[in-house]
Structure 1
Amino acid sequence: MAPSKDLVTLTANCLCKANTFTTQVPKSNLPLEGWACHCDSCRHATGAMYTQDSPWPEERANVDVSSLKAYNFSPKYDILFCPTCSTPLFFANTQDLNKKLGVFTGTLKNVSSDLVKTTEHIFVGDTGDGGASMWLRKPNADGTEAKRYKGRAEDENGQLAEAIPYDWPSHDKLTGYEAKTKDPVHIWCRCGGVNLLWEPPSYDGVKDEDLPWFVDPKTHKALAGFCACESCRLFGGVDVWNWAFAELKDIHFPNKVPGFPDSSDALRALVDAKDPSVGSLTYFASSSDAQRYFCSNCSACVFYAWDERNFMVDVALGVLEASDGARAEGTFSWAFGGAIGHLDENAGGWRFDQYQRVMKEGEEWRISRGYPKNWRRLAREKAEGKA
């Protein structure tokens, strides 16, 4: 056995801390190889814009996952998640029980050692617009690029597929910064237990000062941004989390059936009453005044509600289906290249530098597409004397 000074302790835990897994790995084995998937199923089963897992070093037979709930994600894999707080902890191969578990990298502690190296992005084609791969092309400490593939990286014969170039998709295939789509956005989880419709309003004729704080005064699109806090990371099991913002009055039941709660208080009461209208939606109170809503069947994160913002919710980007792609640029004003929320929580750990690279890539991509700076970023830079 390697001396203790040559070992790094890996810890993966869920948001509510009911489930914690630890093991040790030689420093020489780090960073772990990580694979990012952007397929429709992964996004709608977690609420994240992508999933990423690495092999958990310990033998599967030695890992007690009896307290986790299993969702049969595909014929070959289960997602093992905490039934209390939704955190997806492992992918488990159902056909080969000798295969090691794949740990969701967002659940790993933010230690100082560089833990994960992303080697590839698969099923990027499902996103239609590149999704989160646009700011995760070079996420690694050594500067290496994680190549992107429309489907699997290898075909059934083991032949390497052709990687997607940086400029995919072409500019004319994207909605762009200013253009706004009028199509409703479908909110659904992988198992279908959560099925809602969101109709972003036009805000035509509304004065700038009367717009909700998260609505771009020029494009009238809602804000979409990045969060690096531990709670969001553990909620969905990914390292980079993305939220959009919506007023509850604009969310409906399927087929535009009215009656969905127009306040977070009413939403919480409906879920507490186990009203069948909300399907499999449940929540975990991550603090005394905040609720994190998720699907109790498949673990998909759906909403974040805060009592001080009773009229609105944060919406997990991964559960949205928009006509123009996973980023839904026709609906959202993205803060590309801007500051990531709660970045300082990661100081001293490996993720802090990763987030710096994400911001750099987001800025490079914004400039390459000719997008202006997000209005909130401009306001922040002006307040800081940078503009």
Structure 2
Amino acid sequence: MPTLQAQCLCTARTFTAPLPAQLPLPAASCHCTSCRRVTGALRASGTPWPGDGAAIAAAAAAPHSTLRRYRRSGRVTVLFCGECGVGLKGAEGPAGEVPVRCHCGGVDFVLRAGEAQREYAEWQRRGRELPWFVDPVTHKALGLVDSCDTCRVWSGAELFHWTFSALRHVSFAGGDGGGFPQSAVDLGAAVEAGDGGTRDPRFGTLALYASLPDV
């Protein structure tokens, strides 16, 4: 059976896995600050390892192992060769919450991204249709690059980027995050509520502007 091989530069560490029947393998390229600093490159590329990830983790935990661990962030641990420094595998913990806030801090919400991913994975397992903005492999929300006149004039940038979420996965930041509107109509009404004690102060400085009848 054809195999896939992952090997560091000094060849001290080699891992193999059966080559999946479905090719090409899904891959991702990231240029976040962590990826650039860990690799020293402008970006890092990777693919989910199709083999036994537990075996690699066990090899890293073995006495006198040359496979080292580096906790890159609260969620991601990198396994790399202690001899040549080549990163071989990343171990990602459970997805958590993503802060949604503006620069001045007037808007401060939370996107419960991990909860959304787990929910959509369960939907798929049960044969339920996923929302159009959910990737069927990662169950993450898709991103969109927009160059329409409205987006460019509003942002002052030639390209603008969007992502999407069901409002049930958004909450107010802080201890009491409940009560966030569950539909776009309800959110608009809540944001435009008068200041006479009817508007929830947790909306902060969030405002609404309709550039088009449905946008």
Determine the structure 2 residue equivalent to 1:269: 189
CA displacement at 1:128 relative to structure 2: 1.6
Determine the structure 2 residue equivalent to 1:357: none
Q: Please, which of 221, 224, 249 is the counterpart of residue 140 of structure 2? A: 221
CA displacement at 1:130 relative to structure 2: 8.0
Determine the structure 2 residue equivalent to 1:116: none
- Read off the aligned partner of 2:140 and give its amino acid letter: K
Q: Is the 8 A contact 1:252 1:259 kept in 2?
A: yes
Determine the structure 2 residue equivalent to 1:191: 104
Greater relative CO, 1 or 2 (CA 8 Å, sep 6+): 1
Bigger Rg, which one: 2
Determine the structure 1 residue equivalent to 2:150: 231
Q: Is the 8 A contact 2:35 2:44 kept in 1?
A: no
The within-5 A match list for 1:360-375 is none
Q: Matched residue of 2:106: which SS?
A: coil
Alpha-carbon distance change, 268 to 180 in structure 1, aligned in 2, over 3 angstroms: farther
- Alpha-carbon deviations, 1:129-161, whole Å to 9, x = none? 689xxxxxxxxxxxxxxxxxx9xxxxxxxxxxx
Q: Matched residue of 1:187: which SS?
A: strand
Question: Take 1:283 and 1:194, find their aligned partners in 2: how far apart are those partners?
Answer: 13
Determine the structure 1 residue equivalent to 2:33: 128
Q: Is the 8 A contact 2:192 2:208 kept in 1?
A: no
Alpha-carbon distance change, 129 to 228 in structure 1, aligned in 2, over 3 angstroms: farther
CA displacement at 1:277 relative to structure 2: 2.3
Determine the structure 2 residue equivalent to 1:259: 179
Determine the structure 1 residue equivalent to 2:123: 206
Unaligned 5+ segments in structure 2 are: 1-30, 47-71, 77-88
- Alpha-carbon deviations, 1:95-143, whole Å to 9, x = none? xxxxxxxxxxxxxxxxxxxxxxxxxxxxxx9x52689xxxxxxxxxxxx
Alpha-carbon distance change, 129 to 287 in structure 1, aligned in 2, over 3 angstroms: farther
Unaligned 5+ segments in structure 1 are: 1-124, 132-149, 151-164, 291-387
Question: Take 1:235 and 1:180, find their aligned partners in 2: how far apart are those partners?
Answer: 37
CA displacement at 1:170 relative to structure 2: 3.7
Question: Take 1:284 and 1:182, find their aligned partners in 2: how far apart are those partners?
Answer: 32
- Read off the aligned partner of 1:263 and give its amino acid letter: S
State the TM-score, normalized to the length of structure 2. 0.53
Count of aligned pairs between the two proteins = 131
Question: Take 1:205 and 1:252, find their aligned partners in 2: how far apart are those partners?
Answer: 21
Determine the structure 2 residue equivalent to 1:310: none
- Alpha-carbon deviations, 1:265-291, whole Å to 9, x = none? 11111111141221100011111222x
Determine the structure 1 residue equivalent to 2:208: 283
What percent of counterpart residues are identical? 31
- Read off the aligned partner of 1:183 and give its amino acid letter: G
Q: Matched residue of 2:109: which SS?
A: strand
Q: Is the 8 A contact 2:141 2:164 kept in 1?
A: yes
Q: Is the 8 A contact 1:184 1:197 kept in 2?
A: yes
Q: Matched residue of 2:154: which SS?
A: helix
The within-5 A match list for 1:1-387 is 127-128=32-33, 167-171=41-45, 182-200=95-113, 201=116, 202=118, 203-207=120-124, 209-255=128-174, 257-274=177-194, 275=199, 276-290=201-215
Q: Is the 8 A contact 1:180 1:221 kept in 2?
A: no
Question: Take 1:129 and 1:223, find their aligned partners in 2: how far apart are those partners?
Answer: 22
Q: Is the 8 A contact 1:129 1:169 kept in 2?
A: no
> For the aligned residues, what is the CA RMSD?
3.2
- Alpha-carbon deviations, 1:297-341, whole Å to 9, x = none? xxxxxxxxxxxxxxxxxxxxxxxxxxxxxxxxxxxxxxxxxxxxx
Alpha-carbon distance change, 130 to 224 in structure 1, aligned in 2, over 3 angstroms: farther
Question: Take 2:93 and 2:210, find their aligned partners in 1: how far apart are those partners?
Answer: 34
Q: Matched residue of 2:165: which SS?
A: strand
Alpha-carbon distance change, 180 to 259 in structure 1, aligned in 2, over 3 angstroms: same
Alpha-carbon distance change, 185 to 261 in structure 1, aligned in 2, over 3 angstroms: same
CA displacement at 1:183 relative to structure 2: 1.6
